[in-house]
Amino acid sequence: MFRLAHLSDIHLGPLPPVARRELMSKRITGYVNWQRNRGRHYLPETTANLVADLLQRKPDHIAVTGDLINLGLDAEMRTARDWLAALGAPHDVSVVCGNHDAYVPGALGAALAAWQPWVAGDDGHVVRDVKDYPVLRRRDGISLIGCNSARASLPLYATGYFYQPQADALAELLEAEGRAGRCRVVLIHHPPVARATAFHKRLIGASRFREAVARHGAELVLHGHTHLATIHTIPGPNGPVPVVGVPSAGEPGGKRKPAARYNLFTIAKGPKGWSIAMQEYGAATGSAEIGLIAKRQLA
């Protein structure tokens, strides 16, 4: 039995002081947006409260599917590195990046460098950019496969990208890990599901991702980005593959999006294949107390 926790979209605050030259880019719209919206509502206490609850459940592993930060600033990356170090050892925490981590050109590479121990695969290759994806980590019969959809996009866009070379490499990995009988859990920031987001936030190339899964299979896909609690399915060779989105770990709730949550998956090998149960933990709106919100059997 393996217990995998999933967190996403931390959007760690508060924003560090931002130099004027750092705002000469897409950051200006994000900065104004942060000051008007997220900065007022996303409090570090919300995430700290959620993480404290998660850690006392002692999961075997924690997956973080991106948007750890907001504007791709170096100072934010250092804060996020400290946050990761407090979350767990690199062996026990796997990170993929989101569009906010890659907010402006150059940010993705800097974020990957800052968080390298948590993003690298078991092979120890340095992960510098999208060409180094997917990455693979094996833990107790589980294959954690990290994909990258993060890339700088135009102001007011939050699109993700999934191009053919990564799709081909993913297909190969899914095939090999499936043949070896491992439980394949794929991590990606953007939902690889049609119409799961507004047009300007979609994953460009999502059909390439779905095609790799349809041909070679996967047991579970985890994503963030939407800040919603969703379960979709995409076709796999032996039936539907669950695609689970978790709300933001920084969201206070009471607005359009659910309050901060994490999901805890219990994965076990049974006579008929992998069984995957999911528990959702978070606070009810207006309360600070974290508790079990829902339980479901996914496979």
Q: Which residues bind Fe ion (CB under 5 A)?
A: 67, 98-99, 225
d(CA 97, CA 202): 15
For 175, 287, 297, the CA distances from 275, given in Å and listed in that order, are: 20, 32, 8
CB of 99 vs Fe ion, minimal distance in Å: 5
Q: Is residue 185 a contact partner of residue 144, using CB atoms and an 8 Å limit?
A: yes
CB of 218 vs Fe ion, minimal distance in Å: 21
What does 188-233 look like in DSSP terms, one character per residue?
-SS--STTSS-GGG-EETHHHHHHHHHHH--SEEEE-SS-S-EEEE
d(CA 284, CA 263): 15
CB of 101 vs Fe ion, minimal distance in Å: 9
Would you say 249 or 267 has its CB closer to Fe ion?
249
Would you say 98 or 134 has its CB closer to Fe ion?
98
Question: How many residues appear in the chain?
Answer: 299
Would you say 46 or 149 has its CB closer to Fe ion?
149
Would you say 13 or 98 has its CB closer to Fe ion?
98
CB of 55 vs Fe ion, minimal distance in Å: 24
